[in-house]
Amino acid sequence: MAQAASSTSETVVGSTTTIVETTVEVRSVAPGKTKRQIDNLYPPKSHALQISKYGDTSVFQWAEVSTVQIQSPYDIIIKVSAAGVNPFDYKFRKGNYAVFGKVKFPLVLGLEFSGIVVAKGEKVNKVHLLDKIWGTIRGGCYSEFIRVNTATEYGVALKPTSVSHIEAAGAPICALSAYGALVTLGELPVGDKAEAGKHKVLIIGASGGVGTFAVQIAKVLCKAKVTAVCSGANAELVRRLGADKVVDYTIQDFTADENDYDVVVDCVGNQNDFYHKTIPLLKKKGTFVSVAFDNDDNKVSLGDLTKLSFQYVGRKFFGARKYRALYGVNRKDFSKLVPYFERHEIKTVVAEKFPLREAAKAHEKIETRRTAGKIILTT
Ligand SMILES: NC(=O)c1ccc[n+]([C@@H]2O[C@H](COP(=O)([O-])OP(=O)(O)OC[C@H]3O[C@@H](n4cnc5c(N)ncnc54)[C@H](OP(=O)(O)O)[C@@H]3O)[C@@H](O)[C@H]2O)c1
């Protein structure tokens, strides 16, 4: 499919947790596993949930396809166990991003997955058959099998055994978005450089896919004081994730609350114009980060992009507080997050699961934009 999320700034080199290959060594089958077991898992024909045009959920087609094959010595074939659903998927399905260029139909949506390696190229040495892998690629995860090039895909890693396929499939895109918003664009310090309680963060849309990770990353990695905005029904969930304070936007005006935030992260967007509403809440050198710069129902037009760039330039040179928009995830950051999942310091909140071929139901659900956590598709 078309490239899903472009990178904001792919400048940070991943650590050892991702599987990007550099040297040559061949090992075919994980110890104790026979080739017959692998063959059973890798049939010549399989299924993918395709769309053959933009439109509503009726465009999904459960198609029998030739199972993907190894094409480069660095490729691995993964039998997908679960795939995460993101608002990007339904916006793309509806044609909201058509302005970014023509795509070739039929195509398969899906930016994140967790699954099992069933074949590998001869130069793949960090991954073995039957290893469990999770991560984000640039599309195609609504399939029973995917091909991943281990030489170029930085957002893919060995899945910790402590994390289930379901949890793993829902993590990469939203966790990377939250990290990008808070650390890359919000410039909050992490780990040893972070001082407990020094920075204050406001997260709008704290109960959604990105928001649930933003609360955890702000607390665990950035050691910040977190105020979370969500509906009362999800207040307890967000509190459990670590929020110091929860404001129910349905009964309280959070803009009338505290006013010394270092970073405001907007995971809701749409017509709310949280930038102007939250400028007075930011410290002088504070940063507003929009994760959701596009509207749900509108197609992104060239006019929108021009307006956004002018607004950006205007704010950069004339505005006191920074406005930053997250346009995509930096897959090279994935390796930094994996250990936190392994130690259960960051978790995926699973809202609901659907069988892959019923992704239409999952899309109808996520389009309501009232999902608490992540929706997952299972094969
Ligand atoms: N730039 C990127 O790379 C990138 C990456 C990922 C996502 N995104 C975008 O970021 C946005 C958020 O994604 P997501 O996965 O978090 O979406 P999501 O899971 O659909 O978000 C749903 C959440 O939004 C909350 N919400 C809805 N209206 C609200 C309001 N007025 N005030 C506060 N909270 C409100 C809901 O909370 P309650 O039910 O509690 O009200 C719900 O929990 C989407 O537009 C997505 O396309 C961008």
Residue 223 has a pLDDT of 98
- Determine if ligand 1 sits within 6 Å of the CB of residue 54: no
Residue 320 has a pLDDT of 54
Distance 158 CA to ligand 1 centre (A): 28
List, in order, residues 6 or more apart from 166 with CB less than 8 Å away.
Answer: 82, 114, 348, 350, 353, 376, 378
What percentage of the chain has pLDDT greater than the value 90? Answer: 74
Helical packing angle, 172-179 and 209-220, nearest 10°: 50
* Under 8 Å between Cβ of 247 and 257: yes
- Determine if ligand 1 sits within 6 Å of the CB of residue 204: yes
**pLDDT for residue 161 is more than 80:** yes
**Is the four-CA dihedral 316, 318, 321, 327 of positive or negative sign?**
negative
CATH 1.20.140.10 is right for the domain spanning 35-171+348-378: no
- Average pLDDT for residues 297-306, to the nearest whole number? 69
**pLDDT for residue 8 is more than 60:** no
Task: Render pLDDT for 47-102 as a digit per residue (tens, 0 to 9).
Answer: 999 999 999 999 999 999 999 999 999 999 999 999 999 999 999 999 999 888 89
Distance 133 CA to ligand 1 centre (A): 27
Half-sphere exposure of 126 (CA within 13 A, CB side): 18
Q: Which of 369, 375, 376 to mutate to test the pocket of ligand 1 (most atoms within 8 A of CB)?
A: 369
User: Could you tell me which of 36, 62, 43 has the C-alpha nearest to residue 51?
Assistant: 62
CATH 3.40.50.720 is right for the domain spanning 174-325: yes
Which ligand 1 atom minimizes the distance to the CA of 5?
3
Show me where the domains of the chain are located: 35-171+348-378, 174-325
- Average pLDDT for residues 319-343, to the nearest whole number? 89
Distance 289 CA to ligand 1 centre (A): 13
CA-CA distance, 78 to 136, in Å (whole number)? 13
- Determine if ligand 1 sits within 6 Å of the CB of residue 171: no
DSSP for residue 299: P
Distance 262 CA to ligand 1 centre (A): 21
How far are the Cα atoms of 67, 128, 131, 155, 257 from residue 117, in angstroms, in the given order? 14, 7, 5, 16, 50
**pLDDT for residue 249 is more than 90:** yes
Which ligand 1 atom minimizes the distance to the CA of 366?
20
- Determine if ligand 1 sits within 6 Å of the CB of residue 170: no
Q: What is the largest CA-CA distance in the chain?
A: 66
For the record, the structure tokens of 154 come out as 């930085």
Task: Render pLDDT for 112-159 as a digit per residue (tens, 0 to 9).
Answer: 999 999 999 999 999 999 999 999 999 999 999 999 999 999 999 999
DSSP for residue 13: P
Q: How confident is the model at residue 28 (pLDDT cuts 50, 70, 90)?
A: very low
Residue 316 has a pLDDT of 63
- Average pLDDT for residues 224-234, to the nearest whole number? 98
Angle at 232 between CA 228 and CA 233, to 5 degrees: 115
Nearest CA to ligand 1 atom 36: 370
Residue 315 has a pLDDT of 62
Residue 321 has a pLDDT of 67
**pLDDT for residue 225 is more than 60:** yes
**pLDDT for residue 25 is more than 80:** no
Neighbours of 204 (CB within 10 A): 28
- Average pLDDT for residues 32-45, to the nearest whole number? 79
Average pLDDT score, the chain: 88
Residue 275 has a pLDDT of 85
Which ligand 1 atom minimizes the distance to the CA of 369?
20
- Average pLDDT for residues 302-321, to the nearest whole number? 65
CA-CA distance, 328 to 340, in Å (whole number)? 22
Residue 248 has a pLDDT of 97
Q: Which of 213, 230, 273 to mutate to test the pocket of ligand 1 (most atoms within 8 A of CB)?
A: 230
- Determine if ligand 1 sits within 6 Å of the CB of residue 210: yes
Burial of 343 (0-12, 13-18, 19+ CB in 10 A): exposed
Residue 279 has a pLDDT of 85
Q: How confident is the model at residue 38 (pLDDT cuts 50, 70, 90)?
A: confident
Q: Which helix (H) or strand (E) element contains residue 65?
A: strand 60-66
Q: How confident is the model at residue 23 (pLDDT cuts 50, 70, 90)?
A: very low
**Is the four-CA dihedral 315, 317, 321, 326 of positive or negative sign?**
positive
**pLDDT for residue 242 is more than 80:** yes
Q: What is the gyration radius of the CA atoms in the chain, in angstroms?
A: 21
- Average pLDDT for residues 14-34, to the nearest whole number? 52
**pLDDT for residue 229 is more than 70:** yes
User: Could you tell me which of 44, 133, 46, 42 has the C-alpha nearest to residue 81?
Assistant: 133
